Chains A and B, each alone.
Chain A
Amino acid sequence: MTKKEFEDIYRQHFAKMYRLARTMLYDADESKDVVSDIFARLLREKYQPQQNQTEGYLMTAVRNRCRDVLNRKSMQERVEKHFLQESMQSQIVSMNDDDRLERLMQFIEAELPPLSQQIFRLRFLSEMSYEEVAQAAGVSKVTVYNHLSQSVQRIKEYFQQQTAKR
C-alpha cells in the first residue's frame, strides 16, 4: 500500500466512520479519536483489506472500538448505552443499524410536532435540565414535560408496531 493509496482509503471512508462513531458515542472529539486510532492501527499493521471489503472492515472496527470506549465509561453512561451495545451486537453490517435509525427518524420527523422534536433535542442531546429547556424553547416547564412524555409515548408505540411487524 502506498501513501497515496492509504490517503485515498482515509478520505473515502473517514466521514462514514466518523458518523457511525458519533451515533454510538455522541461526542465529536471522541468519535474523531476512534476513527483516527483505527487508521493508525491500519497503518501500523500495514494491513490492506480487499477492496470490496474495506468498508465492512472499517465499519466493524469502528463499532468494536466504540464498544471498548463505552466499556470504559462511567456506570451512568454505560447503563444508557448498554442497550445499544446489546442491540448492536447482533448487527454485523452497518447498513442495518443505519436503516433502523433512519426509519425511526423518519417517523419522528413525520409524526412529532416540531416543538416536541426541539424539546427532545434540547433535553437529551444538549443534556439540559427541564428548566433550561423551558427557557431555551420559551415555554413553561409543564409544557416541556408534556411534550417529552408524549414524544416518548409515540416512540414507544412506534417500537411496538415495529416489533409486532416482525
Chain B
Amino acid sequence: MEQQDRIDQLVAENQELLALTKQAFIKREVEKESVPVDEEWEKFAAEHADELEALEKDEPRTATIKKLMGIVPYKVAAGIIGILFTVGVAFAAIHIVRMVSDPKPQTMQAEQTISAKPTSALPTDTVKTDTTANVKPIVFDNVALDKMLPQIAAYYHKGVDFQNADARQLRFYFVWKQNETLEVVLHRLNLFESITIELKDNKIVVE
C-alpha cells in the first residue's frame, strides 16, 4: 500500500513536470505565433452584432448620466453662482427703481408743503436742488434741431421760430436737464458755434 502511494506520487510528480514543460514549450510557441486579433474581432462582432448595437443605444443614456455625475459639482457651483447673481441683479434693480420712483412723492410733498405753507421757511433752492438730483436728463444724441427744439419749447410753453431754415437740419448732441431754466438751456445751446438762439416774445427764435 505504501509502495503504491510512493509510485502514485512519483507518477504525479512526473506528470506535473511533463505538463509544466509542455506548457513552457507552448508558451514559447504561442509567443512566436501572431494572434489574428483583427480576424477574431470581425468574427466576434458579426456573431454579437445585436448586443454590440444595443450597447451603442444604451450608451447615450448612461453616458449622459456619467457625464452629469462628472460635472455635478461644477453644475451645482455654477447654479449657486447663477442664483446669487440673479438675486443680486434683481435686488439692485429693485433698489434703483425705488430710488427713481421715490423722488416723485418727495417732490409732490415739497410742492404741497409749499402750497400749504407759502410762508414756510423752506427755501425754493432746496426744492430745486432735490429736484435737480432726481430728474433724469434727456439726451439728444445726433438729433436735428427742428426735432429737439420744439420738445424743449413745449416743455417751457414757448413757440419756435426758425428764421434760419438751414439751422433746422443741424444735428447736435445735447443733454437737456428739465430742471434747468429756459435761459440756461438756451445759453448752453448757444455755446454751439453754428447757431444763435434767442427768446423773443414767448418764442424761441433761431437765427
- Give the chain B neighbours of A39 by CB distance below 8 A: 44
Contact across chains for A32 and B30 when beta carbons are under 8 A apart: no
| A60 interfacial contact with B, CB 8 Å | no
- Of B14, B28, B30, which contacts A152 at CB under 8 A? B14
Q: What 0/1 readout, one digit per residue, does chain A (9-49) give for beta carbons within 8 Å of chain B?
A: 01100110011001110100000100110011001101000
Contact across chains for A124 and B18 when beta carbons are under 8 A apart: yes
Contact across chains for A23 and B23 when beta carbons are under 8 A apart: yes
Of residues A15, A39, A44, which shows the largest number of chain B Cβ atoms within 10 Å of its Cβ?
A: A15
Which residue of the partner chain B has the closest CB to A109?
A: B28
Chain B's interface size range is 35 or more
- Give the chain A neighbours of B47 by CB distance below 8 A: 36, 40
| A104 interfacial contact with B, CB 8 Å | yes
Of residues 151 through 205 on chain B, the ones whose CB sits less than 8 Å from some CB of chain A are: none
- Give the chain B neighbours of A152 by CB distance below 8 A: 14, 17-18
Which residue of the partner chain B has the closest CB to A24?
A: B23
In the docked arrangement, what's the CA distance between A1 and B27, Å? 32
Contact across chains for A101 and B40 when beta carbons are under 8 A apart: no
- Give the chain A neighbours of B125 by CB distance below 8 A: none
Nearest chain B CB to A9's CB is how many angstroms away? 11
Which residue of the partner chain A has the closest CB to B20?
A: A104
- Give the chain B neighbours of A10 by CB distance below 8 A: 37, 41, 44
In the docked arrangement, what's the CA distance between A87 and B20, Å? 10
- Of A1, A36, A84, A159, which contacts B59 at CB under 8 A? A1
Q: SS class of chain B's interface: helix, strand, loop or mixed? A: helix
Contact across chains for B48 and A104 when beta carbons are under 8 A apart: no
| A61 interfacial contact with B, CB 8 Å | no
Contact across chains for B19 and A81 when beta carbons are under 8 A apart: yes
| A105 interfacial contact with B, CB 8 Å | yes
Listed stretches B50-58, B87-95, B103-111; interface member:
B50-58
Which residue of the partner chain B has the closest CB to A19?
A: B30
Contact across chains for B58 and A120 when beta carbons are under 8 A apart: no
Given contacts A11-B37, A40-B48, A43-B48, contact A108 B21 (CB under 8 A): yes
In the docked arrangement, what's the CA distance between A125 and B27, Å? 11
Nearest chain A CB to B74's CB is how many angstroms away? 23
- Beyond A19-B31, A44-B51, 14 additional contacts (C-beta under 8 Å) are A1-B59, A18-B30, A18-B40, A22-B26, A23-B23, A36-B40, A40-B47, A43-B52, A87-B16, A105-B24, A105-B28, A124-B18, A125-B22, A152-B14
27 A-B residue pairings within 8 Å (CB atoms): A1-B55, A2-B63, A7-B45, A11-B41, A14-B35, A14-B37, A14-B40, A22-B26, A22-B30, A23-B26, A23-B30, A36-B40, A36-B44, A43-B51, A83-B15, A83-B16, A84-B19, A101-B20, A104-B24, A105-B24, A105-B28, A108-B21, A108-B24, A108-B25, A125-B29, A152-B14, A155-B21
